[in-house]
Amino acid sequence: MKANFNRGALAEALSLVTSIVPSRTPKPILRCVQITATDKDVRICATDLEVGINYLISAVQVEEPGEAIVPADRLLAIVRESTDDVLALESSEGTCEIKGADSHFKIYGHEPGQYPTVPDFDGEADIKVALGVLQAGIEQCLFATAKESSRYAINGVLWEIKDKKLLLVATDGRRLARSRVKLSSAPPKGQAPVNLIVPAKAMSLLDKIGSSEKDAVAAKPLDNQILISCSNVVISSNLVEGNFPKYEDIIPTDYDKKLTLGTEAVLSAVRRASLLTSEESRGIKLSVEKDKLVFSGRAPETGDAQVDMPIDYKGGPIEIGFNPQFLIDVLRVIKTPEFELELGQGDRPGLIKSGTDLLYVLMPINLG
């Protein structure tokens, strides 16, 4: 293989592709990327055997088609540190050479033909959606997925299609986020409803794709996988097995205490009230009174914090404790200047709504 790359385009491709390369694996070849050159373009692939990515680069001049399997971290470091506009890559028999105007690197990789097959996208898509719209939905729920859990189903994001809406739902058992995304195209009515659990890693990868207004995502479930295509990138991922919790059952529908609050003001108040919390007293208390909301935090060995906020509220008083970080997480992704906070009793979950597309349920904590 012999090809001349635009260094910026190569760096952009490698930044995305190498983000799924495992740092530790019993299979050393998985720490590499596969570079395949045809007469017209170059495809860079990576996989950890659960999630795979195909990235097509057209800003390249191919002199000799072929294949190279190169350690991902070394290649990315060389490309990032280079100051050249054009880099030449040449490979043969498991060795890859990278040449710039004043530099020459030789990396030892693997023989061609040994890399696992990374699926490409063929045929028609079942689901189509604008990339920017999907990424906005991902950002509003991905943070709520379980980071480590023996209940594998909550390690991913539920995709649930209803008419031409895609509901993205994530939970870690202590909170739940649901965002609603408008689809350009959905499976025809009469087909079985689409319910998929897509791993958080694949969702995060989707969120990293550089987007323009014209970019669209095409997705297609296939057996126990999902294939997602966008512009010059194809992501393939195994689906998470198991049953996602019946999340509708935990969304409160009978609350009578409803507050409309400023997003930035509450974010600031939560941050300030949590400044004096500690590992032992990680919660902050929200005290709702007539025309006033008080955020308070305390740590016996440090002190107390209190932030008062005037509100328009005429209902009965209520006190409830929350993990402040869980509040901060959702307030950061709310796009509207105001949101609704609905409360029942002090031992029942809080409900946050932003417009018609974002819903967040947060379990209370006991502040003793």
Q: Could you tell me the strand order of the sheet in which 165-171 lies?
A: 195-199, 156-162, 165-171, 175-182, 358-362, 350-354, 338-343, 257-262
Q: Work out the number of other CB atoms within 10 angstroms of the CB of residue 320.
A: 23
At residue 191, the pLDDT reads 67
Strands 127-130 and 156-162: unpaired
Domains and CATH numbers, the chain: 2-108 (3.10.150.10), 127-247 (3.10.150.10), 251-362 (3.10.150.10)
Rounded Cα distance between 266 and 340, Å, is: 11
At residue 124, the pLDDT reads 86
Q: Which amino acid is at 63?
A: E
- Regions of the chain where pLDDT drops below 70: 149-150, 190-193, 211-213, 281, 368
At residue 76, the pLDDT reads 97
**pLDDT (tens digit per residue) in 278-322:** 777 689 999 999 999 999 998 888 899 999 999 999 889 999 999
Q: What is the torsion angle, in degrees rounded to the nearest 10, for the CA atoms of residue 25, residue 31, residue 37 and residue 43?
A: 80
pTM greater than 0.85 = yes
Rounded Cα distance between 239 and 297, Å, is: 41
Q: How many residues are there in the chain?
A: 368
Buried b (16+ CB within 10 A) or exposed e, 194-215: bebbbbbbbbbbbbebebeeeb
Spatial CB neighbours of 283, under 8 Å, sequence gap ≥ 6: 277, 297, 321, 322, 323, 324, 365, 367
At residue 31, the pLDDT reads 96
Here the contacts of 361-364 (C-beta below 8 Å, separation 24 or greater) are 361/175, 361/176, 361/250, 361/251, 361/252, 362/174, 362/175, 362/322, 362/323, 362/326, 362/327, 362/330, 363/174, 363/175, 364/320, 364/321, 364/322
